């Protein structure tokens, strides 16, 4: 089945530093979604990217979808303690026939 | 407000027992999913449904079953619980994957099999 590889698994940053997580697939993706899960919580939808080369911003978060639609990234500028959690990418290869496949997530740990 | 609820939120059961986790959504979504989350594995799809009477196996379906008799509910049954099924289980729903709609997750059910 389709797989999405997400790196890094863990990322420690000092508060105020930037953070980036990457998601890669060997197959072309129809779309990619990003979710955030706070410690002890449930995944919450952040955004969906559909178009090749698409870039979307949400305040300090920037999401990119690669030109070949095989990779994506989430970049957080000037991290804050509220950014702590696990960030997941999730993708479908088309038609929704197999639900979403999630990456293993990147755990963001912020040191004040 | 529309929502998705799971019950029980926490359960301890014994090996070999049958366990059912309930999931109920009030958004009238066609699509419903069950995932399990384990350290090092992320979220893995167990079963999913695209509508009433439709069920499909996901990546880790062995030992689990679901049924979809109405739009609102997708109960997950562990036929004979095993220690390897100790996990956090998330139910989710969406109006439609292919149209790019948001997936909403329930708050999770923590299951311990002893």
Buried b (16+ CB within 10 A) or exposed e, B59-95: bbbeebebebeebbbbbbebeebeeebbbbbbbbbbe
- A16-32: pLDDT as tens digits: 999 999 999 998 988 89
Cβ of B43 within 8 Å of Cβ of A88? The answer is yes
pLDDT for residue A93 = 61
- Report d(CA A77, CA A93) in Å as an integer: 29
Of residues B59, B96, B107, nearest to A42 (C-beta): B107
**CA nearest to B97, candidates B64, B38, B51, B46:** B51
Residue stretches of chain A with pLDDT short of 70: 1-2, 93-99
pLDDT for residue A75 = 98
- B46-101: pLDDT as tens digits: 999 999 999 999 989 999 999 999 999 999 999 999 999 999 999 999 887 555 56
Interface-testing mutation among A38, A99, A101, A106, with chain B (most B C-beta atoms within 10 A): A99
Length of chain B: 114
**Chain B touched by A45 (CB under 8 Å):** yes
Cβ of A102 within 8 Å of Cβ of B42? The answer is yes
- Locate the chain A residue with the closest alpha carbon to B89: A42
């Amino acid at each position: 089945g389709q797989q999405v590889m997400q790196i890094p698994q863990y990322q420690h940053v000092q508060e105020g530093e930037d953070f980036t997580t990457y998601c890669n697939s060997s197959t072309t993706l129809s779309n990619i979604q990003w979710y955030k899960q706070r410690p002890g919580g449930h995944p919450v939808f952040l955004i969906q990217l559909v178009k090749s080369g698409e870039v979307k911003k949400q305040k300090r978060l920037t999401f990119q979808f690669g030109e070949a639609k095989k990779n994506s990234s989430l970049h957080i500028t000037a991290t804050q303690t509220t950014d702590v959690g696990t960030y997941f990418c999730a993708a479908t290869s088309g038609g929704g026939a197999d639900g979403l496949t999630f990456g293993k997530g990147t755990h963001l740990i912020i040191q004040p | 407000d529309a929502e998705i609820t799971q019950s029980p939120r926490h359960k301890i059961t014994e090996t070999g027992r049958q366990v059912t986790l309930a999931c109920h959504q009030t958004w009238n979504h066609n699509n419903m999913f069950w995932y399990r989350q384990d350290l090092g594995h992320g979220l893995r799809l167990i079963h999913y449904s695209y509508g009433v009477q439709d069920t499909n196996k996901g990546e880790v379906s062995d030992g689990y079953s679901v049924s979809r008799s109405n739009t609102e509910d997708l109960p997950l049954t562990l036929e004979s619980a095993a220690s390897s099924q100790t996990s956090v289980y998330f139910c989710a729903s969406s109006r439609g994957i292919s149209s790019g709609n948001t997936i909403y997750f329930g708050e999770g059910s923590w299951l311990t099999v002893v």
